[in-house]
């Protein structure tokens, strides 16, 4: 069974390709990893992307991914013409938008700086982080606007329902997917309050994730360089090396399993708090999506699991009452409590 986490693949396909070239271009990594500044810039870029994905860029992110095959787009009733329209609009917006062009030029200079110096002052690092935040925010706005202009509300609903049905395959997910359950304004505010409440834990989870992923990627390149490989021809080369290390290198496997465990721990806490916001009828709809997903959600889920390398599931799992099996979006203990008590109201100003 192939096993590699979603976080391994994300650096190679970050937000519409632009951030991929800037933050995680693998063939620059041998230089980046040897510079303290390069390491900081790489990590900040990864964190900004993952943070933005959680804040709301999740739905628009998926439509720009190469892994979304024609079969998935057809399942969402997205025509080839619509897909080409979205890609062309993105290309034109990125090429013609003066703000993006300026930010991209600055980030490219940071990228070169990070490969060639060992130290910059704190003020410069703050400026770099601010520029990264502005870039990701601008990209998110462009992607979201293009998606809304090109797709119908029904198509967007199918995309969000597909994410809900497969949330167990993603430890970082966008709150926007819950909009498929017809949230009220009060519920949206409540979820946003929860997100703010968990912000310190989320930031710590992000730091741990990116630090560990940096270690894994270093191990990949250590092995490649020992084999005389100075650059990778495609993302498949990196995936193949990661699979090899996961099988043959006990230290790599240990760090990989640490990422999985820590990610799942935060994800489960975050999801349960989101579930508590839902009304009983919304909760029923969510369970139905997860337990008996529509065909378009099944097709999307198959592609996500393929990307993760999780097409096969271990059969020896014996869950306890509050356990959370990897890939399962709802722990059995929560289902039982919810059935017994109904919605768990939270004390929020709007109620």
Nearest CA to 42 out of 130, 129, 170 is that of 129
Total count of domains within the chain: 1
Q: How far apart are CA 298 and CA 207, in angstroms?
A: 32
**Inside any domain, residue 349:** no
**Inside any domain, residue 244:** yes
The answer on pLDDT for 14 being more than 50 is: no
Both tokens assigned to 92: 């034109």
Give the count of beta carbons closer than 10 Å to the beta carbon of residue 80.
10
CA of 345: how far to CAs of 189, 272, 286, in Å? Answer: 14, 13, 17
Each residue's pLDDT tens digit, 208-227: 888 998 898 889 889 988 88
**Inside any domain, residue 126:** yes
Per-residue DSSP letter, 322:
T
Q: How far apart are CA 234 and CA 245, in angstroms?
A: 18
Question: What is the pLDDT at residue 129?
Answer: 82
Range of the domain at 118: 6-341
Per-residue DSSP letter, 57:
I
The answer on pLDDT for 40 being more than 70 is: yes
Q: How far apart are CA 136 and CA 56, in angstroms?
A: 12
Radius of gyration of the chain (CA): 21
The rounded mean pLDDT for the chain is: 75
**Inside any domain, residue 347:** no
Q: How far apart are CA 267 and CA 310, in angstroms?
A: 18
Give the count of beta carbons closer than 10 Å to the beta carbon of residue 258.
14
**Inside any domain, residue 323:** yes
Each residue's pLDDT tens digit, 262-279: 877 787 888 889 999 999
Assign 310 a pLDDT band (cuts: 50, 70, 90): low
Q: Which residues contact 344 (CB under 8 A, 6 or more apart)?
A: 276, 338
Q: Which residues contact 93 (CB under 8 A, 6 or more apart)?
A: 100, 142, 146
**Inside any domain, residue 348:** no
CA of 173: how far to CAs of 35, 95, 169, 266, in Å? Answer: 31, 29, 9, 12
Question: What is the pLDDT at residue 66?
Answer: 52
**Inside any domain, residue 346:** no
Range of 22-31, 32-41, 156-165 with top mean pLDDT: 156-165
Residue pair 221/29 in contact (Cβ under 8 Å)? The answer is: yes
% of the chain residues with pLDDT over 90: 19
The answer on pLDDT for 109 being more than 80 is: no
**Inside any domain, residue 350:** no
**Average pLDDT for 106-130:** 76
CA of 314: how far to CAs of 310, 318, 327, 334, in Å? Answer: 10, 10, 11, 22
Total-model pTM = 0.75
């Amino acid at each position: 069974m192939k096993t590699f986490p979603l976080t391994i693949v994300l650096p190679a396909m970050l937000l519409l390709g632009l951030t991929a070239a800037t933050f995680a271009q693998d063939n620059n990594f041998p230089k980046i990893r040897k510079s303290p500044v390069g390491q900081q810039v790489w990590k900040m870029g990864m964190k900004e992307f993952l943070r933005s994905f959680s804040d709301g860029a999740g739905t628009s992110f998926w439509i720009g991914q190469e892994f979304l095959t024609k079969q998935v787009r057809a399942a969402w009733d997205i025509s080839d013409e619509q897909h080409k329209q979205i890609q062309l609009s993105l290309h034109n917006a990125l090429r013609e938008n003066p703000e993006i062009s300026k930010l991209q030029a600055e980030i490219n200079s940071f990228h070169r700086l990070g490969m060639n110096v060992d130290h910059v002052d704190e003020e410069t690092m703050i400026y770099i982080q601010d520029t990264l935040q502005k870039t990701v925010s601008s990209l998110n706005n462009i992607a979201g606007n293009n998606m809304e202009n090109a797709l119908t509300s029904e198509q967007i609903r199918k995309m969000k329902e597909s994410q809900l049905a497969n949330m167990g395959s993603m430890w970082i997910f966008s709150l926007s997917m819950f909009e498929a359950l017809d949230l009220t304004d009060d519920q949206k505010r409540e979820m946003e309050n929860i997100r703010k409440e968990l912000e310190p834990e989320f930031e710590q989870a992000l730091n741990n994730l990116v630090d560990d992923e940096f270690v894994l990627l270093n191990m990949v390149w250590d092995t490649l360089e020992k084999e005389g490989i100075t650059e990778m021809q495609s993302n498949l080369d990196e995936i193949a090396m990661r699979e090899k290390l996961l099988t043959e290198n006990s230290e790599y496997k240990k760090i990989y399993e640490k990422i999985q465990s820590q990610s799942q721990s935060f994800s489960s806490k975050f999801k349960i708090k989101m579930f508590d916001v839902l009304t009983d009828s919304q909760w029923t709809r969510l369970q139905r999506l997860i337990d008996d997903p529509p065909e378009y959600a099944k097709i999307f889920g198959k592609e996500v699991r393929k990307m993760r390398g999780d097409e096969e599931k271990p059969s020896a799992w014996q869950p306890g009452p509050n356990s959370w099996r990897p890939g399962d979006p709802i722990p059995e203990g929560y289902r039982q409590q919810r059935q017994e008590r109904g919605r768990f109201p939270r004390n929020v100003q709007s109620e």
